Amino acid sequence: MDDLLGMIQGYAQKLINDDNSVPAEKKGLAAQSLAGSLVNGLKDEVSKGNITQLLDIFSKKDTTVGASAMNSIQSSVINSLSQKVGLSSSSAGSLVSSILPSIMGILGKKAGDPNDKSFDFNGIFQMLGGKGFDFNSIMSKLDTDNNGFDLNDVTRLFSKGSGGISGILGKLFGK
């Protein structure tokens, strides 16, 4: 967990250093607060079972304000920056809106990089409290053409003749 927190804090620090809305003496505290509240927000989403939404966010498919998981995480981070750093809600909101999608994208890119074995989605979700969660195992079961789970597999899983949701569940649970 400390690795994830440290990584997020490092990315946040770099992005906050370039932002003029945070006073220089509060930039370190802002990065620490952002990282802590982001990790807590991610933990909350994992505990709610919002794995699909988080995967969409990490892959930059759904980082818009309209995504419920992202809204919840953003609210948590904004509140933390306002309370702990003393930023106005407006300043905190602007900062979070500009930084959070970048951080989530960076984490998603790092986790999705097959050449980087130090950090993957499975590890992220296990660190966030998804005990027993094995992302890699799930993806391999849903891989219909043995070339890694991709958009073609998603299309096949939801096409006619695949068995719909029961077919997907059957693949996951070996039926």
pLDDT digits (tens, 9 = 90+) for 41-93: 888 887 777 777 777 777 665 455 336 788 888 999 999 999 999 999 999 99
How many helices (DSSP H) and strands (DSSP E) are in the chain? Answer: 9, 0
pLDDT digits (tens, 9 = 90+) for 11-44: 999 999 998 889 999 999 999 999 999 989 888 8
CA dihedral 65, 71, 76, 80 (to 10 degrees): 10
Place of tokens 């986790």: 111
Please count the other Cβ atoms lying within 10 Å of the Cβ belonging to residue 66: 8
